[in-house]
Amino acid sequence: MTIQIKICGLSTPEAIDAAIEAGATHIGLVHFEPSPRHVSLDQAAQLREHARGRAKVVLLLVNADIKATSYAIGTVKPDVLQFHGSETPEWIALVREKTGVECWKAVGVRDAVSLEKSVKFIGHVDRLLFDSPAKALPGGTGETFTWNLLKAHEHKVEWALAGGLKPENVAEAIRTTGAPMVDTSSGVESAPGVKDMDLIRAFCEAARSV
């Protein structure tokens, strides 16, 4: 199995180049104003073009309404939409059906009950992203959750592991969970929203070493 790697919260062409050159298969663009990683839709569209043909581009949205979601898709033309709010399975299924865009849903994992609740998205999403529980902002908390919860979980849809992953722990996380994809954001930053090129390379190298 070749591990898939997503570097999220990128905001510059240089960071995108570093991620792709290091082996990232997906790059994430955050369109959510409260986030320190926020990019405007115009910025996201330019970054999407910069990455075109070299990695899949994932646009992260949080509780965007119909009009905002439609406009974002039309402007950025992402390969994937990642929903990181309280979006329902029915809403994501509708977006997926009407747009044909691959759709992922982030799920905060507190305990085994959280995993059981995630089954409601099966059949409505293309991938579940198991992340640490949201705090003031969704994602980018830098905190892990109990990876052993995923050991016995029967995955019925494609999935990825996120939440506090960094160069020092990503290999252990993959070995513990068997994750086919890993996703990091704050784990490769020198400050909130500021990507560190050396950490990006170290993260990808560690993930691919497993």
pLDDT band at 134 (very low <50, low <70, confident <90, very high): low
pTM for the structure as a whole: 0.94
Burial classification of residue 187, based on how many CB atoms lie within 10 Å of its CB (0-12 exposed, 13-18 middle, 19 or more buried) = buried
CA gap 161, 138 in Å, rounded: 15
Q: What is the pLDDT of residues 82-128, one digit of tens each?
A: 999 999 999 999 999 999 999 999 998 888 888 888 999 999 999 99
In angstroms, the CA 98 to CA 62 distance is: 19
